[in-house]
Amino acid sequence: MDVSQYLGIFLDETNEHLQTLSDQLMILENEPENEDTINEIFRAAHSLKGMAGTMGYKRMQTLTHDMENVFSEVRNGKIKVDGHMVDILFQALDALEEYRENISENQDEGTNDNEPIINALQAILNGESASGSDAGPAPEAAGAAESEPAATEEKKDAAPAAGDKWLDIVLHEPEQHVISEAIKNNSKVYGFTVYIQETCILKAARAFLVFKALEELGEVIISEPSVQDIEDEKFDFDFSLYFVTDSPIDKVKEAILAVSEIDHVNGDVIDMDHAKIAKEDDEDEPAPAPAEAQTEAPVASSAPAASSAPPATKDTKGADNKKTGANKPAVNRTVRVDIEKLDVLMNLVSELIIAKNSLVSFSTSDSSHSGFNEQIEYLESVTTNLHESVMKVRMVPIESVVNKFPRMIRDLSKKLNKQMELHMTGEETELDRTVVDEIGDPLMHLLRNSADHGLESLEVRRERGKSDVGQIYLDAYQDGNNVVIEVRDDGNGIDTEAVKKKAIERGTITPEQGETMSEKEIIDLLFLPSFSTAKVVSDVSGRGVGLDVVRSKIGALGGDVSVKTKLGEGSTWTIRLPLTLAIIQALMVVVGNEKYAISLGSIQTIEDVAEEDIKYVEAREVINLRDTVIPIIRLHEVLGVESVKEPNANMVVIIVKKGDQLAGLVVDELIGQQEIVIKSLGKYINCSSRLISGATILGDGEVALIVDANVLI
């Protein structure tokens, strides 16, 4: 089956499932008994396995299968979740992520079997979580393949020894591992070949019953042909299997023979020596040795999917895990779209068609020109809306970027040996897809920075009377016409003296310069390329490539980074991204004959104020609103237009807020609330007062300016 057309969906969904797994694992680590979480994980692992299987990614499937097994045992209450297990599971997640990346690069999952992880998972399954067969950081170890299907298929044609076909089953490392574990645990391992009566019609069903009977007694490690093939009736009248159990062999044989239409069963106890002999026997056959089979198998299994890029597949063969020459991702980037947004698009398109049709009818009949113009205007407004909606489709919540951070902080916590917690808010803040894609790295740098440089060691924290657990906050929110992302920690803050000393040491500044530098200027030094104050270069940070990258990246997006810090109390890094392309809720108002938009975010209330309620304080107009004195700003004066309002009528006052300051903006008329797409005015226009932060295009195609109320206060 050619599955390449599903690749995009597969990758998307894999991403989602991996994210779910990661999130839930984080929860699980803290609440090992949380059943909902375990179920959720199980479901995600299960879907992942199914998807990988369908797509023919055997390695991924095997790995998820083992993970699923572990979760299933956890769910049944047979294994308890502990730190070691979560570690292994996270490693498995990383391995899956690696597969996913390989697949998105060249449609091939790569040749990394991640055997240590699989073994570790098996060990957990066998109740050895504490013995700690750590999967280690280098899972590339070239081991035997567990890709049974490929290996066993080749095996099928081999002439089996009469009666004891089970001796020919090729055992790979995972199975060997399970067997040796089982033997260690005083379980018995048997090999069986079951013969079904040749008159049997539903042999697959019989075989299934045999498996079912066996599963009540123990565990089938491997079967020949594979379970899948047996289910598909792809076998003659016999099948062989290895079986781990505590029951005596006679009892097992009895259980097998209890299934009707079973002719007879051969079997014996085996140990690892037998198994190995079986493997060596295998070598004189055309089937390649396991090590070779490993490289062969992926090529075969991924051939249909990779048919569009045959050279790439060839490269992968043998080149362990390396990216292939073609660096182009095999799949285009996608945006998941809220169905409602699509509905809006659909509606607009139908309106467009209606508008076009009426234009066509106008061109055929000789109607008055005024109607024609009306239609043109209608068309114009529809197309403008259409454009706006398509822009909206590009907006994605930053969630997709930030939700990988809890995991990162967890890992950092272990690596740096510091306790820390990440608190996130505002994940739903929307930004343009291109911006969202780019802010991941800078944010990661800042978080690492906080974790490594910011948070103090445990001793220092205790000394300072702070809680043991370092707190890192990631807050995203919209502030007027900006999206602000703050990374905050309650750590040490920036030691400006140390920075200064370092800068002088490095020759970045002279001691004299250092004397006269303000705190802000010193902090700015941190953003210079190759400036790091970390005393020890760790692999977390300290190579001095962090902050300058952050600044240049954010700068490229048209934003800026600033930092507020207090020595001993922590620092706050603030990324401010302009809302170009972004969409905000705004209040549309009329001043003079012009329309303006004011971001709803900064508006507190709207008041109806009588002219005589205006008082004067220091020659400035104020109103006393519910015991708060609020200065009044007449927007038409600021904007330089004639007010069209009658002088004695009540005034519409919009109360806006900046921080804890309030101000009242007097406008002529309210139009209403509207979602607007913010456009930049371009770099040519130099709005000296910064009063106008952008413009938006209204439904009728007209341009309205956006007033930044923050500037007025």
Partner 1 sequence: MDALNIAREYETVQYIVIKIGEEQYGIDISFIDNIVRMQSITRVPHVQPYFAGVINIRGEVVPVMSIRLKMGLDVDEYTNKTRIIIVKTESNAPIGLIVDEVKEVVTLDERSIDEVIHDSKVDETYINGIGKNGDTLISLLDLNAVISDKDNS
DSSP code, position 166: G
Minimum distance from residue 711 beta carbon to partner 1 (Å)? 10
Please say whether the beta carbons of 503 and 509 come within 8 A. yes
Given the rule CB under 8 A, which of 401-409, 434-442, 547-555, 694-702 is the region that contacts partner 1? 694-702
Return the H-helix or E-strand segment holding 58: helix 58-75
Which amino acid appears at position 144 of this protein? A
Please say whether the beta carbons of 617 and 624 come within 8 A. no
Residue of the chain from 420, 695, 709, 712 that contacts partner 1 (CB under 8 A): 695
Given the rule CB under 8 A, which of 14-22, 54-62, 242-250, 696-704 is the region that contacts partner 1? 696-704
Q: Does 528 bind partner 1 (CB under 8 A)?
A: no
Q: Does 643 bind partner 1 (CB under 8 A)?
A: no
Q: Which is nearer to partner 1, 507 or 640 (CB)?
A: 640
Minimum distance from residue 344 beta carbon to partner 1 (Å)? 16
Q: Does 376 bind partner 1 (CB under 8 A)?
A: no
Residue of the chain from 289, 460, 498, 703 that contacts partner 1 (CB under 8 A): 703
∠648-652-655 over CA atoms, to 5°? 140
Q: Does 704 bind partner 1 (CB under 8 A)?
A: yes
| Tokens linked to 304 | 């249909």
Whose CA is closest to 47, among 109, 55, 333, 399?
A: 55
Minimum distance from residue 600 beta carbon to partner 1 (Å)? 20
Its sign, for the CA torsion 373, 374, 379, 382, is positive
Residue of the chain from 31, 254, 374, 702 that contacts partner 1 (CB under 8 A): 702
Strand partners, 694: 706
Q: Does 159 bind partner 1 (CB under 8 A)?
A: no
Q: Which is nearer to partner 1, 125 or 677 (CB)?
A: 677
| Tokens linked to 454 | 């910011």
Given the rule CB under 8 A, which of 39-47, 54-62, 564-572, 695-703 is the region that contacts partner 1? 695-703
Please say whether the beta carbons of 400 and 433 come within 8 A. no
Please say whether the beta carbons of 233 and 204 come within 8 A. yes
Given the rule CB under 8 A, which of 304-312, 447-455, 509-517, 692-700 is the region that contacts partner 1? 692-700
68 among known catalytic residues: yes
- From the candidates 13, 15, 34, 46, give the one annotated as an active-site residue: 46
Given the rule CB under 8 A, which of 44-52, 72-80, 294-302, 689-697 is the region that contacts partner 1? 689-697
Give the residue carrying structure tokens 């007209």: 702
Q: Does 686 bind partner 1 (CB under 8 A)?
A: yes
Report d(CA 172, CA 185) in Å as an integer: 20
Give the binding-site size for partner 1 (rule: CB under 8 A): 30
Report d(CA 355, CA 376) in Å as an integer: 8
Report d(CA 49, CA 45) in Å as an integer: 6
- From the candidates 102, 106, 385, 449, give the one annotated as an active-site residue: 449
Q: Which is nearer to partner 1, 365 or 688 (CB)?
A: 688
| Tokens linked to 422 | 């990440």
Given the rule CB under 8 A, which of 342-350, 623-631, 660-668, 693-701 is the region that contacts partner 1? 693-701
Q: Does 679 bind partner 1 (CB under 8 A)?
A: yes
Q: Quick check: helix, strand or coil at residue 142?
A: coil
Residue of the chain from 205, 213, 697, 713 that contacts partner 1 (CB under 8 A): 697
Residue of the chain from 623, 687, 693, 709 that contacts partner 1 (CB under 8 A): 687
For the segment 442-471, give every residue that binds partner 1 (CB under 8 A). none
Q: Does 705 bind partner 1 (CB under 8 A)?
A: yes
Q: How far is CA 461 from CA 29, 212, 533, 569, in A?
A: 24, 58, 20, 10
Q: Does 345 bind partner 1 (CB under 8 A)?
A: no
- From the candidates 29, 40, 65, 68, give the one annotated as an active-site residue: 68
Q: Does 205 bind partner 1 (CB under 8 A)?
A: no
Q: Does 125 bind partner 1 (CB under 8 A)?
A: no
Q: Does 684 bind partner 1 (CB under 8 A)?
A: yes
Q: Does 674 bind partner 1 (CB under 8 A)?
A: no
Strand partners, 589: 596, 670
Neighbours of 465 (CB within 10 A): 6
Burial of 659 (0-12, 13-18, 19+ CB in 10 A): exposed
Minimum distance from residue 700 beta carbon to partner 1 (Å)? 10
- How would you label 161-176 residue by residue, b for 16+ Cβ within 10 Å and e otherwise? eeebbbbbbbbbbbbb
Q: Does 685 bind partner 1 (CB under 8 A)?
A: yes
Given the rule CB under 8 A, which of 102-110, 275-283, 397-405, 691-699 is the region that contacts partner 1? 691-699
Minimum distance from residue 392 beta carbon to partner 1 (Å)? 13
Report d(CA 543, CA 20) in Å as an integer: 32
Q: Does 269 bind partner 1 (CB under 8 A)?
A: no
Report d(CA 236, CA 630) in Å as an integer: 90
Minimum distance from residue 365 beta carbon to partner 1 (Å)? 26
Residue of the chain from 119, 313, 384, 574 that contacts partner 1 (CB under 8 A): 384
Residue of the chain from 3, 200, 671, 681 that contacts partner 1 (CB under 8 A): 681
Which amino acid appears at position 296 of this protein? E
Please say whether the beta carbons of 584 and 569 come within 8 A. no
Report d(CA 384, CA 340) in Å as an integer: 18
For the segment 602-641, give every residue that binds partner 1 (CB under 8 A). 638-641
Residues near 322 by beta carbon (within 8 Å), at least 6 away in sequence: none
Please say whether the beta carbons of 142 and 320 come within 8 A. yes
Q: Does 586 bind partner 1 (CB under 8 A)?
A: no
Q: What is the CA 175 to chain-centroid distance, rounded? A: 33
Within 126-200, residue ranges assigned H as helices are 148-156, 173-184
449 among known catalytic residues: yes
Q: Which residues are catalytic?
A: 46, 68, 449
| Residues near partner 1 (CB under 8 A) | 384, 387-388, 594, 638-641, 679-689, 691-692, 694-697, 701-705
